[in-house]
Amino acid sequence: MHTINKALKVFFKPFVLIAVFLTFNVDASYSQDIAAGEKLFKINCASCHKVTDQKLVGPGLKGVAARVPQPAEEWLIKWIKNSQAVVKSGDAYANKIFNEYNKSVMPSQALTDDEIKSVLAYIANPPADTKAADKKEDAAPAASAQDSSTVLYFLLGLIILFLILISVLNGVKNSLQRLVNQKEGLPEPVPVNYNAAFLKNWARTNKKIVALGLIVIVSYGAKAAWNGMMGIGIYEGYAPEQPIYFSHKIHAGENAISCVYCHSGVEKSKISNVPSANVCMNCHKAIQEGTVTGKKEIAKIYAALDYNPEKDTYGPNPKPIKWVKVHQLPEHAYFNHAQHVTVGKQECTTCHGPVAEMDTLRQFTPLTMGWCIDCHRKTEVKMADNPYYTKLHEELKKTYGKKPITVSMMGGIECGKCHY
């Protein structure tokens, strides 16, 4: 029995140590360069670029390493960190791109060399079917939950493997004991009764293994609880079903309708208003059948307005459309759309992601305080030709010189700016 226990310890201990390692390094075990690059790309690049050859705000990035000056990686790192510095250096290709896109300045990205290499690895190895990937992301974007499930299944698989090893070793032990008894003329060994008393005795004689096992279980439970608590109030990927199917992909993407046409308050109000059904009727009096849903969804607009398309008349019983809010900030956090869009010259995609590619609108970014602060620390304020900042810009230049001015330098990370 002592020999078998030693054998069990030899086999069991490495697997327990692996489990302990996995418990404290769940994220590291699944964060390959391409996976990390995909996440960074979506946060920093997806609002202006696609990994295909299709243009968005900037050029499509498919095959970018072959187009830029060589060595490509070195050039791209410089370009991503500070595109204007490369343009001002007289680089021919940089100036060609800058002029081709109407001298639109690509914002400097506060990424490390390794992070940029991860992004480039993702661009070089995008999903095989980007449309399928978009649909999958639209339907179930909770990748972190899938990763947690994968780890849980892996740990359960380890436990099953441990049990199989114990069973095999126990069988080997019984067979060896039987052979020894036959050779020495001893009676057959009495089968071990795996009852509570046996387990209690085994635990008493293998305290280190039991302790390691308990550490694994408690640590994994604590980590799962921590992740759960840190996710409270974060709704990244939230895509509720709406009372009327509305595709931003068709309206903002294929038909290129400006966001401001429907959300008219975004440039002059704290709130980006939900458009009234009357705005929909500017087009849908004439367009009575959709390209995807036919007449079904447009008929719901007519019903809400008590509108008769055949007689072109409105009835006396309109009803409000109960849209479900997608983006919700805490009540103690102040956010002003006009301040960001009109004064800050930010694109809608900065916070809302590639809306023009979404059929069902979803929350693209986490919208946490940390995410906002990070944006304020690295986003350069667009002061050129912006009269709002003329006087302030002159004062800031006295302090910072020609250094790019970020929102944080103007008090953008002071608590009282958003919480008061």
Domain end position, chosen among 232, 247, 278 = 232
Amino acid identity, position 34:
I
Domain end position, chosen among 184, 200, 232 = 232
The range of the structural domain enclosing residue 34 comes to: 1-45+109-232
Residues 372 and 226 in one domain: no
Half-sphere CA count of 139, side-chain side, radius 13 A: 5
Q: How far apart are CA 365 and CA 42, in angstroms?
A: 9
Answer yes or no: is 316 within a domain: no
Q: Averaged over 216-245, what is the pLDDT? A: 88
Domain end position, chosen among 211, 232, 253 = 232
Judged by DSSP in three states, 62 sits in coil
Q: How far apart are CA 356 and CA 337, in angstroms?
A: 19
* Of the candidates 158, 157, 174, the residue with the CA atom closest to the CA atom of residue 7: 174
For the stretch 6-24, pLDDT in tens is 544 544 455 444 444 444 4
Q: How far apart are CA 286 and CA 301, in angstroms?
A: 13
* Of the candidates 65, 78, 86, the residue with the CA atom closest to the CA atom of residue 113: 78
Answer yes or no: is 155 within a domain: yes
Answer yes or no: is 133 within a domain: yes
Q: Is the pLDDT of residue 329 over 80?
A: yes
Answer yes or no: is 209 within a domain: yes
Q: How many domains, the chain?
A: 2
Answer yes or no: is 142 within a domain: yes
pLDDT at site 147: 54
* 286's tokens: 């004439």
Please tell me the least confidently modeled range out of 55-64, 134-143, 210-219, 345-354.
134-143
Q: Which residue has the higher pLDDT, 18 or 345?
A: 345
Answer yes or no: is 179 within a domain: yes
Task: Quote the pTM value.
Answer: 0.52
pLDDT band of residue 31 (cuts 50, 70, 90) is very low
